[in-house]
């Protein structure tokens, strides 16, 4: 198997409060540089974990556990970024770090990658609130998104049992900029919908990786998802898009996602239900199926014929 190289990068986001330091992680096969025209994937993490635990996880006995390695071995250059308030990025500002702030982080990250590696457009994947960040980024900067993948996405929140339960804690989220997390919390991500979807060793490795970087998480995305949806307008997301929904995911109802999907203007769009998957798809037993779905969409050949009517 080709040797995958990882390189850490740092950039700064300009804010009214001064510069905010952001951590980026790059993985590829071969040599760095202008990347020789290789397709670039930008992975966007969710509300309760930084980017490397989500996208570059190592689990003994679980082949291809790192989605970044899997795509790098197939000729892609892979990037992820810790949003402000997460992981190795700055946490000093007294703010909620909401979804709009995350879209700002993606703007700063892609500014940096364009300057450092010459990449102008990205195959962009986001999961859960990361899907909302990625969608808002695509809405604001369609010229930077070649294809968009929205996993565990939610549009209005209608019919979402997980969000119905989470709304009960909204006053608690509003009262503090951050919430504590521990191993039991990470377990709850996998237990709330359908516990058999993930194996214990993977959940524990995921928890180890998350807790090595953070003992608390920003409340902004939870507040947005409980009280401010919708935060994106499908009619303004003009890029090719695939919507991925786990069979047992409690964040978004099927009807909510289908309503969103119908309103996407691009004819180059797909809706996929992922068998045997709940919420954190890359940490599920069926993770390789998710990789394959993404790879197929990201490598889909351009159509020989298109028509406006």
Task: List, in sequence order, every residue forming a beta bridge with 20; answer none if it has no partner.
Answer: 13
DSSP code of residue 83: P
Nearest to 251 by CA among 175, 113, 157, 188: 157
- Give the pLDDT band of residue 246 (cuts 50, 70, 90): very high
Residue 215 phi/psi, 5-degree rounding, is: -120, 5
Worst-scoring range by mean pLDDT, 88-92, 211-215, 239-243, 303-307? 303-307
For residue 309, the model assigns a pLDDT of: 74
DSSP 3-state of 229: coil
- pLDDT for residue 280 is more than 80: yes
Contacts of 70 (CB under 8 A, 6+ apart): 64, 291
Residue 123 phi/psi, 5-degree rounding, is: -80, 110
* Distance from C-alpha of 277 to C-alpha of 272, rounded to nearest angstrom: 12
Angle ∠(187,188,191) on CA atoms, nearest 5: 90
Question: What's the fold here for domain 4-298?
Answer: Rossmann fold (3.40.50)
Tokens representing 286? 């069926």
* Distance from C-alpha of 161 to C-alpha of 195, rounded to nearest angstrom: 16
Whether residue 241 contacts residue 144, with contact meaning beta carbons closer than 8 Å, is answered with no
Contacts of 253 (CB under 8 A, 6+ apart): 158, 159, 160
**pLDDT (tens digit per residue) in 64-74:** 999 999 999 99
For the segment 51-75, the average pLDDT, to the nearest whole number, is 97
For residue 33, the model assigns a pLDDT of: 56
- pLDDT for residue 34 is more than 80: no
Pairing of strands 20-29, 77-81: antiparallel
Whether residue 144 contacts residue 122, with contact meaning beta carbons closer than 8 Å, is answered with yes
* Distance from C-alpha of 242 to C-alpha of 224, rounded to nearest angstrom: 23
* Distance from C-alpha of 143 to C-alpha of 191, rounded to nearest angstrom: 39
Place of tokens 């300057």: 115
Mean pLDDT of the residues in the chain: 96
Compute CA distances 80 → 34, 130, 132, 231, whole Å.
Answer: 17, 11, 16, 22
SS3 sequence, 118-131? CCCCEEEEEECHHH
* Distance from C-alpha of 129 to C-alpha of 141, rounded to nearest angstrom: 18
Whether residue 126 contacts residue 44, with contact meaning beta carbons closer than 8 Å, is answered with yes
For residue 29, the model assigns a pLDDT of: 93
- Give the pLDDT band of residue 2 (cuts 50, 70, 90): confident
Cα Rg, the chain, nearest whole Å: 18
| Domain chopping of the chain, boundaries | 4-298
* Distance from C-alpha of 154 to C-alpha of 254, rounded to nearest angstrom: 10
- pLDDT for residue 35 is more than 70: no
Number of helices (H), then strands (E), belonging to the chain: the values are 11, 10
For residue 1, the model assigns a pLDDT of: 72
* Distance from C-alpha of 161 to C-alpha of 194, rounded to nearest angstrom: 13
For residue 36, the model assigns a pLDDT of: 58
b or e along 190-220 (b: 16 or more beta carbons within 10 Å of the residue's beta carbon)?
A: bebbbeebbbeebbebbbebbbebbeebbbb
- pLDDT for residue 274 is more than 80: yes
For the segment 90-118, the average pLDDT, to the nearest whole number, is 97
**pLDDT (tens digit per residue) in 144-195:** 999 999 999 999 999 999 999 999 999 999 999 999 999 999 999 999 999 9
């Amino acid at each position: 198997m080709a040797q995958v190289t990882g390189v850490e990068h740092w950039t700064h986001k300009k804010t009214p409060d001064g510069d905010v330091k952001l951590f980026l992680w790059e993985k590829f096969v071969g040599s760095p540089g202008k990347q020789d025209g290789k397709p670039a994937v930008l992975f966007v993490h969710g509300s309760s974990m930084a980017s490397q635990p989500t996208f570059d996880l190592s689990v003994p006995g679980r082949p291809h556990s790192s989605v970044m390695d899997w795509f790098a071995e197939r000729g892609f250059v892979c990037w992820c970024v810790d949003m402000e308030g997460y992981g190795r990025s700055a946490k000093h500002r007294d703010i909620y770090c909401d979804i709009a702030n995350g879209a700002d982080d993606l703007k700063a990250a892609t500014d940096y990658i364009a300057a450092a590696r010459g990449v102008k457009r990205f195959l962009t994947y986001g999961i859960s609130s990361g899907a909302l960040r990625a969608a808002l980024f695509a809405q604001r900067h369609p010229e930077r998104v070649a294809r968009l993948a929205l996993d565990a996405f939610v549009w209005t929140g209608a019919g979402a049992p997980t969000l119905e339960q989470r709304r009960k804690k909204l006053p608690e989220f509003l009262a503090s900029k951050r919430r504590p997390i521990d191993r039991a919390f990470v377990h709850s991500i996998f237990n709330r919908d359908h516990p058999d979807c993930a194996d214990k060793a993977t959940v524990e490795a995921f928890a180890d990786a998350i807790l090595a970087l953070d003992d608390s998480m920003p409340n902004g995305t939870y507040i947005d998802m409980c009280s401010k949806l919708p935060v994106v307008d499908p009619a303004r997301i003009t890029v090719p898009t695939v919507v991925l929904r786990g069979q047992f995911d409690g964040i978004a109802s099927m009807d909510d996602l289908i309503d969103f999907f119908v309103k996407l203007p691009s004819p180059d769009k797909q809706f996929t239900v992922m068998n045997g998957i709940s919420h954190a798809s890359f940490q599920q037993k069926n993770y390789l199926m998710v990789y394959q779905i993404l790879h197929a969409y990201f490598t889909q050949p351009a159509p020989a014929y298109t028509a406006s009517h």
